[in-house]
Amino acid sequence: MKIAIYPGTFDPITKGHIDIIKRSIKLFDSVIVAVACNFEKSPLFTKEERVELIKGALKGIKNVSVDHFEGLLVDYAKKTKAIAVIRGLRAVTDFEYEFQMALMNRRLFNRLITVFLMPNEKYTYLDSSIIREIAFFGGDVSSFVPENVSKALKQKIKEIS
């Protein structure tokens, strides 16, 4: 069984992320959407909230599971027996960082390949940070994120304001 991991902070998951997930399941038997606990970021949602939001957003999509991990991605890949890491590329600016990470992951675990996928062009401008900012200032994010995420953003902003 060919398992791929699509890691990210997903704070929040966007329609661009979902587009990448749908493209991924055409290439692999199973895709694990893995919420990363990144110490450099201060996410709006807890890892548990992000996992639940992703599960809700992906409801009905087969061969996809949602999990979270801490530590090195390569260790998580070994644990889950994944053969590939999926990374989305929106623009050339994403490539340099993603290329470095792919090479480092290969150096740490040479059986793990990285597959770069581009989202549909209508999603190339989507960025979770920008979506959080729009939501924080009362903007409508419903065309950028699934309905459950839009509602959760409104509620979270209300709680912290």
- Of 15, 30, 50, 128, catalytic: 128
Average confidence (pLDDT) over 150-155: 97
- Of 90, 106, 154, 156, catalytic: 90
62 assigned to some structural domain: yes
Cα–Cα dist 15/125, whole Å: 11
158 assigned to some structural domain: no
90 assigned to some structural domain: yes
67 assigned to some structural domain: yes
User: What is the reported pTM?
Assistant: 0.94
137 assigned to some structural domain: no
- Of 17, 50, 68, 87, catalytic: 17
Average confidence (pLDDT) over 58-65: 97
42 assigned to some structural domain: yes
Average confidence (pLDDT) over 125-136: 94
Note whether 146 and 17 are within 8 A (CB).
no
- The answer to whether residue 90 is catalytic is yes
Domain CATH code at residue 113: 3.40.50.620
Q: In the structure encoding, which two tokens stand for residue 64, read together?
A: 């996809």
Question: In total, how many domains does the chain have?
Answer: 1
- Of 41, 79, 111, 122, catalytic: 41
72 assigned to some structural domain: yes
- The answer to whether residue 128 is catalytic is yes
3-state SS of the chain?
A: CCEEEEEECCCCCCHHHHHHHHHHCCCCCEEEEEEECCCCCCCCCCHHHHHHHHHHHCCCCCCEEEEEECCCHHHHHHHHCCCEEEEECCCHHHHHHHHHHHHHHHHHCCCCEEEEECCCHHHCCCCHHHHHHHHHCCCCCCCCCCHHHHHHHHHHHHHHC
The larger pLDDT score, comparing residue 108 to residue 92, is at 108
The larger pLDDT score, comparing residue 4 to residue 126, is at 4
Range of the domain at 43: 3-124
139 assigned to some structural domain: no
